[in-house]
Amino acid sequence: MRIITGKYKGRHFDIPRTFKARPTTDFAKENIFNVLIQYIDFDGARALDLFSGTGSISLELLSRGCSQVVSVELDRDHHRFIQDCLKKLGDTPQFLPIRGDVFRFVKSCKQQFDFIFADPPYALKELPTIPSLIFEKGLLKDDGIFVFEHGKEHDFSSDPHFVEHRSYGSVNFTIFRTTEKASL
């Protein structure tokens, strides 16, 4: 896993072979971030990474200058891996790795974010409910961006917050915005 651009550009982290997470591929990550630069300036943004797994997206957001990155991951080993990556980067006070259940976090969170990324396990039965939960709980600031990674069997184009869908191999991203049917 590597950081694509920003302060930590080119840094590599070896994911243990025993890892259960399915990290977003570097190819898909690079392509979706190339799309996202037309929607959001990450410098100074407050970001939330749900189901963070390896922490790849969180580390990328940190490298791109986010003023705060909150990473939520339930698995103990994955959470520890994210913390180990942070130690290798050095002083990162703007990064808050939380070990916990994403649904509990979302339901109790009182903070709003400029950017939210969620990459749940593709087989998660609650997966289709996640976009509506994010908007119901008001986690995005006005004009905030939410990127949802999911399998090809899901289509969110009828959602009132839908902006666009991108596919890179088996990786699918749906981009949502707090303003209804807003696209640039």
Segment 167-182 mean pLDDT: 83
**Helix, strand, or coil here: 147?**
strand
pTM for this model (two decimals): 0.94
Separation CA 70–CA 109 (nearest Å): 11
pLDDT score at 170: 87
For the chain, give the percent of residues with pLDDT over 70: 97
**Element containing residue 102 per DSSP (H, E):** helix 102-108
Which value, to the nearest 10 degrees, does the dihedral of the CA atoms of residues 147, 66, 50, 83 take? Answer: 150
Separation CA 81–CA 28 (nearest Å): 21
Using one digit for the tens of pLDDT, what is the confidence trace for 50-83?
Answer: 999 999 999 999 999 999 999 999 999 999 999 9
pLDDT score at 183: 46
Kindly indicate the confidence band of residue 184, based on its pLDDT and cuts at 50, 70 and 90: very low
Separation CA 85–CA 104 (nearest Å): 25
- Please compute Rg for the chain using Cα positions: 15
Residue 40 CA: distances (Å) to CA of 64, 114, 124: 11, 8, 28
Using one digit for the tens of pLDDT, what is the confidence trace for 82-122?
Answer: 999 999 998 888 999 999 999 999 999 999 999 999 999 98
**CA-wise closest residue to 101 among 127, 61, 73:** 73
Separation CA 91–CA 178 (nearest Å): 32
**CA-wise closest residue to 5 among 52, 59, 54, 67:** 59
154 pLDDT higher than 90? yes
Kindly indicate the confidence band of residue 127, based on its pLDDT and cuts at 50, 70 and 90: very high
Kindly indicate the confidence band of residue 173, based on its pLDDT and cuts at 50, 70 and 90: very high
User: What's the whole-number average pLDDT of the chain?
Assistant: 93
Separation CA 183–CA 162 (nearest Å): 8
For residue 110, give every residue at least 6 positions away whose Cβ sits within 8 Å of its Cβ, in sequence order, or none.
Answer: none
Segment 18-43 mean pLDDT: 89
Separation CA 161–CA 183 (nearest Å): 10
